[in-house]
Amino acid sequence: MATLLITGADLAGGGAQDLLVEDGRIVEVGTIRSAKGADVLDADGLVALPGLVDLHTHLREPGREDAETIASGSAAAAVGGYTAILAMANTDPVTDTAEAAERILDLGRAAGLVDVVPVGAVTKGLAGEELAELGLMHRSRAGVTVFSDDGHCVADSRVMRRALEYVRAFGGVVSQHAQDPHLAGPHACAHEGELSGRLGLPGWPGIAEESIVARDVMLARHTGSRVHVAHVSTAGTVEVIRWAKAQGIAVTAEVTPHHLVLTTDLLTGYDPTYKVNPPLRPQEDVDALRAALADGTIDAVATDHAPHARHDKEHAFVDAAFGMLGLETALSVVSDVMVGSGLLDWAGVARVMSQAPARIAGLTSHGQALAEGSPAHLTLVDPTATVTVDRSASLSLSRNNPWHGRTLQGAVHATVFGGRVTAQKGAIA
């Protein structure tokens, strides 16, 4: 493997250093005058972060390769600064067996741009009734540690309790899509309030999320197990998580870039690009999510990258598929709204986009400090660059990009995965 010398990088905002990479690891940090035969990457003016880790990615393969494949999703992740992504289980067939999980792992390794980590389903077929092969998936080559029925809530309390008890034995975690189906059914698609009533869109009240989160943190306390809350969207959920953490309950949480910025007001044009689950919320919820990410109540940013083919999105709002793209734009959104406002510094970005996600997922080779001996997974960011998002330039196979036409401050300059430059300036290297 080639030797790589990265010069003048600001290590997570802590000062400029050079990094020498050999055989996939950082072997020297400091002022390095020369490295014979090394490829040189000039990082003057760039911020170096541990490679980004996404806890929540939909890659659609197998079953919907018209929307995304593991290869195309890996490419989108690499240009977005990611070195590891967790592939959700709601594929066709569902990732609810050891064989299915190993197939995802192998396809990710064949793509070779990021570590693709399979997430196992909690229940067979995501039906919410019978536990999937949790132990077999964990003991497989895929080593599955995170389990989720994302897209569906594990609404049955007894099933959720059993899942938490089962994964406790091997340190696993259940990631919950918190949506009480009796309070927000399958057709619910807009934040319940005056606007949803005026637009005639089925309401998705915040209590449908908050009540499930409240139940799950109590189940986590009862079982002594770990629960993770996917795509937190309301101020009420933040309150529940803050209380649970103060009690010492093993709960972690993520927020998406779109829930940190976009609000329910965007639905007035009935543009299905903005249909997402959970739905966009009012500004007061957005403000609470930003504050919770800054103070650590919410642990991580996760994209919920959800590609869809045009024929699944181009419908009347109520009939369109849920979901937005996110992998290629997440860093720029966080830079723009969180760093630009002073709510996070670059060390904080490293915490919420790399270190905490890696810790939650049990990825010991990711999220490490950029120090001698660490795996050479890193992201170089240009904090002064501006990027105007163009959905037609996406490496994803889909185009449901809510950021199209927006100008954001801060951009990924290059991604290094295992000592190899995988992406640079928006293109695969």
CB 147 within 8 A of CB 225: no
User: Is 304 part of the annotated catalytic residue set?
Assistant: yes
Would strands 407-417 and 378-388 be described as parallel, antiparallel, or unpaired?
A: antiparallel
Cis preceding linkage at 50, omega within 30: no
**Tokens standing for residue 307:** 């590609």
| φ, ψ for residue 385, nearest 5 deg | -75, 150
Give the CA diameter of the chain.
68
What single-letter amino acid sits at 220?
A: A
d(CA 397, CA 352): 27
CB 339 within 8 A of CB 383: yes
How many helices, marked H, and strands, marked E, lie in the chain? 12, 19
What pairs with residue 147 in β-bridges? 120, 174
Give me Rg for the CA atoms of the chain: 20
CA 100 → CA 3, 62, 95, distances in Å?
Answer: 36, 9, 5
CB 397 within 8 A of CB 328: no
Q: Report the residue count for the chain.
A: 429
Question: Which residue in 10, 299, 304, 312 is the catalytic one?
Answer: 304
Q: Which residues contact 138 (CB under 8 A, 6 or more apart)?
A: 120, 144, 145, 167, 170, 172
Strands of 173-176's sheet in order across = 146-148, 173-176, 226-229, 251-255, 300-301
What single-letter amino acid sits at 304?
A: D
109 by Cβ neighbours in 10 Å (0-12 / 13-18 / 19+) ranks as exposed
Q: Which residue has the tokens 């869809």?
A: 308
d(CA 332, CA 384): 11
Q: Chain centroid to CA 100: how far?
A: 21
| φ, ψ for residue 309, nearest 5 deg | -65, 155
**Tokens standing for residue 228:** 């993770």
CB 56 within 8 A of CB 302: yes
d(CA 166, CA 163): 5
Question: Looking at the annotation, which residues are catalytic?
Answer: 304
